[in-house]
Structure 1
Amino acid sequence: MTTEIVGGWSSFDYELTSAVKAVFKEALEGFVGVSYVPSAFATQVVAGTNYCFLTTGEVSVPNAPHFPALVYIFKPLNGKAHISEITRIKP
C-alpha cells in the first residue's frame, strides 16, 4: 500500500492494483516502438497524481534486448493520464 504525501514521492510499491494498471494502460495507449511492462510504482500527489513506474522495456524489433526504465505518468484530476517522461536506467 502506498502512502500519499502531498508533494513528496511515496516508496515503490510492487503490488500493482487494477486502478494503477489502468492508469499505465491509459497513458501508453497508442504508444508504439517500445513496449513497457511495469513491475513497481511510486506516486506523488499534486493537482492530480504523478506516477513513476519501474518497468522493463523492449524495442519492437526481433531479438531486441530488454532494458530497465522509469516511465513517469501524470493523471490530472479530470482528464486522461499521459506520459510526462521516460528515462532509461543505466548501470
Structure 2
Amino acid sequence: MTAQEHLVGGWTPYHKLTPKDQEVFKAALKGFVGVSYTPEEVSTQVVNGTNYRYKTIATLPGSPSSWQAIVEIYAPINGDPHITQIHRI
C-alpha cells in the first residue's frame, strides 16, 4: 500500500504534499494572521471527510526564529476545510 492510498480510520505515513493537500492547507489558513506555517509533509485519515496532520515550519513575521508545529485540519465532504488544532513539536 502506498502513502496515497487511504485506510478508513487509519492514518497514512507522512508523505510529500500533493496539489490537493496544498490546496486544503491554503484554504484552511486563508485569513489566518500571526504565525506563518509552511507545510513540509502531511498524514491523512479518511473519516466522514478527511483529517490532515501537516508537519510545518512555523515563523513569526520579523523574527529570525522558527520551530516545528503540527497543524491539524478537517476537510468535510461538503464544506470548507478548517483548522482543528495546532501544536508545537
TM-score (norm 2): 0.93
CA displacement, residues 32-69 of structure 1 (integer Å, 9 cap, x when unaligned): 00100000000000000000000000122x22411000
Alignment length, in residue pairs?
87
1:71 aligns with 2:71: yes
TM-score where L is the length of structure 1: 0.91
Gaps of 5+ in 2: none
RMSD: 0.9
- Note if 1:37 corresponds to 2:60: no
Instruction: Give the structure 2 partner of residue 58 of structure 1.
Output: 59
Instruction: Flag as ranges the 4+ runs of structure 1 deviating above 4 A.
Output: none
Percent of aligned positions with the same letter in both sequences?
45
Is the partner of 2:27 in helix, strand or coil?
Answer: helix
Please list every run of 5 or more consecutive structure 1 residues that lacks an aligned counterpart in the other structure.
none
